[in-house]
Amino acid sequence: MISQDVVLVRYGEIALKESWTRQSWERILKSNIAFCLHKAGVDHRISGSAGRIFIHSTDVRAAGIATQIFGVVSASSARTVPPNLDDISRAAVQTAENAMAEAVRSGPVACPDSAERSDSVARSDSVIRSDPAIWTFAIRPRRFGVPFSSGEIGRRAGEAVRLATGAAVNLNDPQLEIFIEARRERAYIFTDVVPGLGGLPLGSQGKMLALISGGIDSPVAAWMMMRRGCPVSLLHFDSRPFADSIDQSKRCAEILAEWSCGRKINFITIPIKKGIEKIQMHHPRATCILCRRLMYRIAAQVMEREEALGLVTGYSLGQVASQTAENILAEQAAIGVPVYHPLIAMDKLEIINLARKIGTYDVTAETKPCTAVPSKPMTRARREEILQAEEELDLVGIARSLAAEATEIGIGDCA
């Protein structure tokens, strides 16, 4: 393991922005990183330079925490040395020797099909681990503002490692990669690049109001918008006795708050039973579509109070009867607010895998379906018919009445 004194944090799209936007988003990302490190009790100092953020810390948890923050593409625990070829070469040798020693201590390589491998192959792994002469390595150099080239770094450091360890250079498929970033102020040496979440820093984009049902998809959709930089408020429609998922929705809100870098998430609940009953009585086959229009009408009013710039759903095209292209067109016609569907082209398995990663899957997997769904739901709704039905039922008036019954709680830590 490398003896770290800093973590290099890389970002992606931020670097493409013009100067004012880039600096603003960098400040937001640094603030988000600082909050999460402070919350975890990691002693640190943060700085930045030429497309990198540096976490100055010896705490081995720092890199892992950074990679779980929106906007971070990857992170590397590194050691720093003065930016000259002699110190860089010595550090590269020490890094190689430490990596080889660590490999020897950890024993033979574990492979997925190890049960089927021969004893001779297993012995071969052990030899490779313990004999530096059988090791292969590569130097991966970069430079910023130093008076020598990347090629010079590679040649000097590579030759030093080869002579000190007896390992062979293999640039195509090495067992060990040693990364070197030589910058004007310091040189950084590391062996691992840990992938991050990517996206944009949370808080760099406008706030969204995400509809959350207690099912698998909607919290994933909210998380996806958070990953694109949008803080969220969550709106749950309490449709008891047709569906009872308020506890699951609240628990999902608590999990999403863990990703929010110190921003409280408003969890809003509105009872919708009266509206569903009226829709069922007059237009049973269109229950899902008209219920959804009622939700959008209510949500538009909540959006205003929350100062949100759009609605977010967990729709995935064709996943259920209500999510056909025709139905989506009919239910969102003339709503008057932007509606985002971040999961629209994702398969169910992709959504489930992401829910597992986020931590919401186990909470939502047992949520029961809504019993108000008709046995033969409308799948190819006509826009004109739905708009006429909405007018007959006065869904706008019902929405205004129900929106007044909203209750709200704040969930999560505050920065």
According to DSSP H, which parts of 8-79 are helical?
19-39, 62-66
pLDDT tens-digit readout, 330-355? 888 989 999 999 999 999 999 999 99
Q: Does residue 230 contact residue 207 with C-beta atoms inside 8 Å?
A: yes
The model's pLDDT over 11-61, given as tens digits with 9 standing for 90+, comes to 999 999 999 999 999 999 999 999 999 999 999 999 998 789 999 999 999
User: 126-161: per-residue pLDDT in tens?
Assistant: 444 456 556 899 999 999 999 999 999 999 999 999
Span 187-222, pLDDT tens digits: 999 999 999 999 999 999 999 999 999 899 999 999
What's the pTM value of the predicted model, to 2 decimals? 0.90
Q: How far apart are CA 39 and CA 42, in angstroms?
A: 8
Residue 415: per-residue pLDDT? 61
Token pair 């939502």 in the structure block, residue: 364
* Neighbour tally for 76: CB within 10 Å: 23
Which domains, ranges and CATH numbers included, belong to the chain?
A: 6-195 (3.30.2130.30), 208-411 (3.40.50.620)
Question: Which helix or strand (DSSP H or E) is residue 55 part of?
Answer: strand 52-56
Please give the mean pLDDT across all residues of the chain: 90
Please tell me the predicted confidence (pLDDT) of residue 112: 39
* Pairwise CA distance, residues 289 & 330, whole Å: 8
Residue 75 has pLDDT above 80, yes or no: yes
Binned at pLDDT 50, 70 and 90, residue 321 comes out as confident
**Which pLDDT band holds residue 83 (cuts at 50, 70, 90)?**
very high
DSSP assignment of 147-198: SS-HHHHHHHHHHHHHHHH-PEE-SSS-SEEEEEEEESS-EEEES--EE---
Structure confidence at residue 365 (pLDDT): 85
